[in-house]
Amino acid sequence: MSATAPEARQWHWENAAAGGTAGFATVAVMHPLDVVRTRFQVNDGRVSHVPNYKNTVHAIFTIARSEGLRGLYAGFLPGVIGSTISWGLYFFFYDKAKQRYARNREDTLSPGLHLASAAEAGGLVCLCTNPVWLVKTRLQLQTPLHQTRPYYGIFDAFRTIMREEGFRALYRGIVPGLFLVSHGAVQFTAYEELRKVIVDIKHRGSKRHLQNPDDLLVQFLVSSSLKEGSIFLCPCLVEHDGSIFDSMLACSFFFQVMRSRLQQRPSADGVPRYVDSWHVVKETARYEGVRGFYRGITPSLLKNVPASSVTFIVYENVLKLLKLARRND
């Protein structure tokens, strides 16, 4: 018992390290599209401080021309911190939950237990990281059109929010964020089931010349995501930008819009534009109709298809290197 406990703890931290590295890589590559998505999501056409963009390409070129590279990477630091922590904690909590459910079980976990593990991990991460995502959203929405004093960075944003709005403001958007956790849970359940299939194929003598089943799984994820555009899409985790199937996207994307709108900075007089989630639903439906709940869906799709590939490629390969290093020690 004592000999296996340190090894188990080390395994948890290897998962956390690999997940954190994957989160960092994903944000670094895809952040400009995340900025564009957030600005589209909050633009209801009734405020003057949000720029109007014709489409995703126009938005990228307009931001680059008027705000420079700094505008395209607005909110990058909290994005990196939040994504790195989120993916690290997610894989850590997910692995811990799986091991807890696996106790006294001789067979592999069922899809239902994988789903419960993923949902549990997503909920915990959402509660831990919502303040970081709120700051990221507000920094992304800062433009030259803003009339209030801008935040001068992540720490200034936290201080200003605490001073002007109180601690409760850091958890604005938490309700739609928790709803989005379910889609990350679906992804990881599918991920585990795909892993089982790949392992079975490998054990049956697959003719693919790969080092181990993980290689085949990663290759499958990449080819499916890029060629089909229909396997993994990641808007929820971890921001908790987590992932969903595109067939579920129409049922879930409006939760992202709700969260972004709730996390906007209040006006100069300190009054939030939206009071709560239900207020977002009523106002959006009243003035914009169904279309308002899907603002920003194009840059979200352009971001999330390759983002899921980046995340899993980096995660699997870093984890493999860490396990190899442990064996060498």
Read off φ and ψ for residue 293, nearest 5 degrees: -80, -5
Q: Which of 151, 169, 141 is nearest to 271 (CA)?
A: 169
**279-297 pLDDT tens trace:** 999 999 999 998 999 999 8
Supply the Cα-derived Rg of the chain in whole angstroms. Answer: 21
The Cα 164–Cα 257 span in angstroms is 24
Tell me: pLDDT of 246 over 70: no
pLDDT at 227: 33
pLDDT at 303 over 90: no
Whole-number average pLDDT of the chain:
78
This prediction has a pTM of 0.75
Q: Is the pLDDT of residue 25 over 90?
A: no
What pLDDT, on the 0 to 100 scale, is given for residue 80?
Answer: 87
| Contacts of 178 by beta carbon, 8 Å cutoff, 6+ apart | 123, 126
Distance between CA atoms of residues 88 and 19, nearest Å = 4
**CB-count burial class (<10 Å; 0-12, 13-18, 19+) for 10:** middle
Which range has the worst mean pLDDT, 74-83, 170-179, 303-312?
303-312
Q: Helix count (H) and strand count (E) of the chain?
A: 11, 0
Higher confidence at residue 211 or residue 231? 211
- Examine the pLDDT at 210 and tell me if it is beyond 50: no
Mean pLDDT in residue range 123-145: 91
pLDDT of residue 257: 92
Which of 95-99, 187-191, 266-270 ranks highest by mean pLDDT?
A: 95-99
For tokens 């831990």, the residue is 128
Rounded to 5°, angle at Cα 171 from 166 and 173: 130
245 pLDDT above the threshold of 60: no
What DSSP string runs through 111-135? HHHHHHHHHHHHHHHHHHHHHHHHH
> In the prediction, which pLDDT does 105 show?
65
- Banded model confidence at residue 179, pLDDT cuts 50, 70, 90: confident
Residue 254 has pLDDT above 60, yes or no: yes
The most distant pair of C-alpha atoms in the chain lies apart, rounded to whole Å, by 68
Report DSSP letters for 191-250, one per residue: HHHHHHHHHHHHHTT-S---SSHHHHHHHHHHHHHHHHS-S-B-SSHHHHB--B-HHHHH
Instruction: Give tens-digit pLDDT for 28-83.
Output: 888 999 999 999 999 887 776 678 898 999 999 999 999 999 999 999 999 888 87
Measured distance between the N- and C-terminal CA atoms of the chain, rounded to whole angstroms = 21
User: For the ranges 226-230, 235-239, 271-275, which has the lowest average pLDDT?
Assistant: 226-230
User: What's the average model confidence in pLDDT over 86-107?
Assistant: 80
Close Cβ partners of 133 (under 8 Å, ≥ 6 residues apart): 78, 82, 173, 177, 239, 240, 263
Q: Which pLDDT score, from 0 to 100, does residue 240 have? A: 41
pLDDT of residue 42: 92
Query: In this model, does residue 305 exceed pLDDT 50?
Result: yes
DSSP category for residue 106 = S
Q: What is the pLDDT of residue 147?
A: 66
